[in-house]
Amino acid sequence: MPHPARLPHNAALGHLRRRRLVGASMVALGPRIATAQSPWPDRPVRLLTALPAGSGADVVFRAIAPDLLARFGRPFLLEPRPGGGGTIAALAVAQSIDGHTLGVMQGGPTTTARALNPALAYDPARDFTSISLVFRTGFVFATHPGLPATDLAGFIAHARANPGRLSYGSIGPGTVTHLAMEELKARHGLDIEHVSYRGFAPMTLDLAAGRIQCGLNTYFSALPFVQDGRIRALALTGASRVPAFAETPTAAEAGEPGLECFGWTGLVGPAGFPAERATAIADTIRTAVARPEGRAGLDAQGVEFTASTPEDFARFQSAEAARWIAVIERLGLRVSD
């Protein structure tokens, strides 16, 4: 299909220049957000997320909730805001003014979303405060077992021989699960339809049912389906194999190093969120995931718990934005693709 004109060449660099630990919107929002000297929190803290109950992020944040309660004296409560590939939850965080609304984010909404949709109502580079990169994980490239391919090269050959007859799932436009697949398609000249879902759970169910034929899935979501044969794992997008998928090669081992990518989950606040609060939350998360209970068993499934500082998370998001905005520009993608 024809694509609209690409973004200006310097979009990714502009994103990097604009990203700050506390966004430029701080001046405008500052008077409306409770000051750092005010008692905080004075009510429950909402953690808005596009991810459904039972997701890896949901499991982790419920596991570390007791540590946050013990440190701050108020509960940190997950609140689902699904849809828009995470941009609905992100917009609510960006527009919040109560000082008690944070976002549990994955990738696109706080990095690439505006490159895909210039009409987006918030600016990922300016409208958030980075708090902590909590964890990251590779993906499983999985297919429906009814396909004849039993390895990644075989799948690519099958897709090339059947243009327009396959579809893949993602958790929304601009997410790594979307952009990495579009990059794979472009690299091999594949015609595979994109189907967007509100989370890995419904996507995995449709993959197992054969409504879609492939997609990038988290280790956490894919594992039980792989174990009982409802989906087939062809490759891992991380840098190394993981115990839970010991027989599954990495993408590089399978001859497709360009597919290496990671999903990640981090915590953000609105622009103007006080730096000392961000640091205190990040420190508490780091202490929580240092204990086995805080990792909820996910480290055995290949999840890497980073629990970064706010500064490191801001730098990480800038690097992710630069990488994936370059892909968006090169392929001429927009939110409808």
Task: Mean pLDDT check: name the lowest of 11-25, 135-149, 316-330.
Answer: 11-25
DSSP 235-254: EE-SSS--GGGTTSPBTTTT
Note the pLDDT tens digit of each residue in 248-287. Answer: 999 999 999 999 999 999 999 999 999 999 999 999 999 9
Helices marked H in the chain: 11-18, 26-29, 56-72, 87-95, 113-116, 152-161, 176-188, 200-209, 219-227, 275-289, 292-295, 310-331
In the structure, what pLDDT confidence band is assigned to residue 336 with cuts at 50, 70 and 90? low
Residue 315 to residues 15, 17, 95, 126, Cα–Cα distance (Å): 12, 11, 23, 14
Question: What is the rounded distance in angstroms from the CA atom of residue 244 to the CA atom of residue 246?
Answer: 6
Q: Is the pLDDT of residue 60 over 90?
A: yes
Percent of the chain having pLDDT more than 70?
Answer: 88
Q: Which two tokens stand for residue 212?
A: 């879609």
Specify the domain boundaries for CATH 3.40.190.10 within the chain.
Answer: 139-259
Q: Which two tokens stand for residue 255?
A: 């001859």
Helix (H, G, I), strand (E, B) or coil at 228: coil
Superfamily of domain 11-136+262-331: Bordetella uptake gene, domain 1 (3.40.190.150)
Specify the domain boundaries for CATH 3.40.190.150 within the chain.
Answer: 11-136+262-331
Note the pLDDT tens digit of each residue in 190-243. Answer: 999 999 998 888 999 999 999 999 999 999 889 999 999 999 999 999 999 999
Helix (H, G, I), strand (E, B) or coil at 195: strand
Note the pLDDT tens digit of each residue in 106-129. Answer: 888 999 999 999 999 999 999 999
> Looking at the domain covering 139-259, what would its CATH class be?
alpha beta
